[in-house]
Amino acid sequence: MQDDKQAVLSVRNLSVEVTNSSATPVLKDISFNLYPGEIFALVGESGSGKSVTSLAMMRLLPEALTITGGTVLFDGRDLFCATEEEMTAVRGNRIAMIFQEALTSLNPVKKVGAQIEETLKLHSQLDTKERRARVIELLEEVGVPHPETRIDWFPHQLSGGQQQRVMIAIALACEPDVLIADEPTTALDVTIQKQVLDLIRNLARSRKLAVLLITHDMGVVRETAQRVGVMYRGEIIEEDPCEDFFRNPQQEYSRRLINSLPDQKHFREACHPHPLLEVKGLKVHFPQRKGVLQRIHDWTKAVDDITLSIGRAETLALVGESGCGKSSTGHAILNLASITDGSITFEGQTISGMSRTAMLPLRRKIQVIFQDPYSSMNPRMTIQRVIEEGMISLKMGLTPEQRAERVIDLLQRVKLEPEHRFRYPHEFSGGQRQRIAIARALAVEPEMIICDEPTSALDVSTRAEVLNLLQELQRDLGVSYLFITHDLSIIPQLAHRVAVMKDGKIVEVGTTEAVLTEPRHSYTRELLSAVPHV
């Protein structure tokens, strides 16, 4: 294996267990090499141990987990024998990481430029002016628009995709030898995902950068990686060159992963139901303020005069690049963002401009699944309380015993165990937290769910299960979906119709088959051309 190359990093027989516990090991004898200029993809279901592997390599495991065996050799030195001071010199400089959830990794009270600059302050000799110029250059390199302005923005002012791009800029700041990328494109739309993956590929090639790519997107693996390692229950059960893996996977689990990919050849038939939700001429504009007196000098037109409708038991997919206004549209429908103009009606009742009290009865009918499940849950609540919170606040009239039974049923429907209801959000993987968020939305039996990237954190097999579950609920309960997504690969099997959004406007809308097979707008064609294929 790669005999002609010297590995820049070697993991040998790495084992991790729960501290002071006799439970099954989290990692069991993990071994692999990272080579200069090569991308090694580590794939597997959420909870299989992929992220734990990366954290163990960097000695960043939480106290609940303990390394019980193995070595990590970097440039011939065992990182497990290095002092903490020596590890500080390695982290972020020689070995950089991109974490899965950008918003929870960024400091909410520091400007993004200052956060990128921290790495340069620690590991470079650049002066203040040179550091700022380098930060702007990095933001431009990873595709953040108007970097000379956005450098002074706070994380919450950026879209989810832009936050992830900032994380990538931080990782690349010191030109590391090894890049550990934990789901680096999870929150990115397809066009920016393509740019980022092209960037990582080019960096790997030009700088001889060794990349460990942790991902659940098999299309990304096929187009990006040279080698693939498959993880299952804490073990690497298969490792092959990428072409060999997709042509002839050796393990049944590997074949199941590949077979779980969405069917992109068959489309849901269009339906023409009576409208449940109607949006007409919707505008959501945010003021831009400057100066000591914070006077308004311009407006950000997040949503700019859009019209759409969703029928009963219908799914409308709203697609477009991050920052185009998809989530702002969802927030406006939920009355979580003030609208500038236009109207929103639900079951014939105008809900735009409703007071919080008047809107409360409709909260049970219109639910939401947010993009980032972790930040939308109270970290001090057990999963039982997280899921039953809506049942209590919206007065469903269930006894504590009935609520507990419903929570168990919901957890099982989203492929989690009943005993999980006693745990806290931080004890779950990203994919598991997203399933909990879906269970919470279903708890009050809504008529419509606004799904804001609900499958972005899920591995392929779990994503397939969730999509099937959403369709099953639609078939059984008649629930409608506004499905906000950047993943065009899942749309054929999910959506009846598609609306394509760009710069706050809907540029194309039609049946799924028509939009995906015969796109009329050049932007739609650009989106489709950027989708990775297996």
Both tokens assigned to 479: 């629930």
Predicted confidence (pLDDT) at residue 2 exceeds the cutoff of 60: no
Q: How many CA atoms lie within 13 A of 427 on its CB side?
A: 12
Q: Quote the number of domains for the chain.
A: 1
Residue 78: domain span: 9-101+176-259
Q: What is the CATH number of the domain that holds 240?
A: 3.40.50.300
Q: Give the span between the Cα atoms of 254 and 256, in whole angstroms.
A: 5
- What's the pLDDT tens digit per position in 482-512? 999 887 888 998 999 999 999 999 999 999 9
Q: Does any domain span residue 189? A: yes
Phi-psi region of 114 (alpha: psi -120 to 50; beta: other; left: phi over 0): alpha
> Does 224 map to a domain?
yes
Q: What confidence tier does 287 reach under pLDDT thresholds 50, 70, 90? A: confident
Q: What average pLDDT score do residues 238-263 get? A: 88
The CA distance from 327 to 169, in Å, is 24
Q: What is the pLDDT of residue 187?
A: 63
Check: CB of residue 253 under 8 Å from CB of residue 461.
no
Query: Does position 4 have pLDDT exceeding 60, yes or no?
Result: no
DSSP letter, residue 183: S
**What type of residue is 404?**
A
Strand order across the beta sheet in which 178-182 lies: 95-98, 178-182, 210-214, 39-43, 227-232, 235-241
CA angle 318, 322, 325 (to 5 degrees): 60
Q: What is the pLDDT of residue 453?
A: 82
Residue 81 is assigned to a structural domain of this protein: yes
Contacts of residue 147, Cβ cutoff 8 Å, sequence gap at least 6 = 136, 137, 139, 140
Alpha-carbon gap, residue 135 to 169, rounded angstroms: 8
Q: Which residues are bridge partners to 508 per DSSP?
A: 500
- Any domain includes 95: yes
Whether residue 324 has pLDDT greater than 90: no
Render pLDDT for 181-221 as a digit per residue (tens, 0 to 9).
988 876 677 877 887 788 888 888 888 899 999 987 888 89
**pLDDT at residue 344 tops 70:** yes
> Residue 1 has what pLDDT?
46
Give 398: exposed, middle or buried? Use CB within 10 Å, 0-12, 13-18, 19+. Answer: middle
Query: Could you report the per-residue pLDDT of 254-266, keeping only the tens digit for each?
Result: 988 887 777 777 8
Q: For the residues 513-517, what does the mean pLDDT come to? A: 93
**Residue 213 falls inside a structural domain:** yes
As beta bridge partners, residue 52 has none
Q: What SS3 string covers 233-247?
A: CCEEEEEEEHHHHHH
Of the listed ranges 93-97, 162-166, 230-234, 273-277, the least confidently predicted one is 162-166
How confident is the model over 339-346, as a mean pLDDT? 94
- At 103, the pLDDT band (50, 70, 90 cuts) reads confident
Tell whether 197 is covered by a domain: yes
Mean pLDDT calculated for residue range 245-254:
92
Residue 394: Cβ-neighbour burial (10 angstroms; 0-12, 13-18, 19+): middle
* Residue 43 within any structural domain of the chain: yes
How far, in Å, CA of 459 to CA of 456, rounded?
Answer: 9
Q: 512 or 45: whose pLDDT is higher?
A: 512
Query: For residue 319, what is the enclosing H or E element?
Result: strand 315-319
Q: Note the pLDDT of residue 480.
A: 95
Residue 252 domain-assigned (yes or no): yes
3-class DSSP state of 322: coil
- Give residue 195's pLDDT: 79
- Residue with the bigger pLDDT between 461 and 35: it is 35
- Torsional sign, CA 398, 402, 404, 410: negative
Q: At residue 52, does pLDDT exceed 50?
A: yes
Please indicate whether residue 298 or residue 278 has the higher confidence score (pLDDT).
Answer: 278
Residue 3 has pLDDT above 60, yes or no: no
Q: What is the structure's pLDDT at 131?
A: 94
The confidence band for 152, taking pLDDT boundaries of 50, 70 and 90, is very high
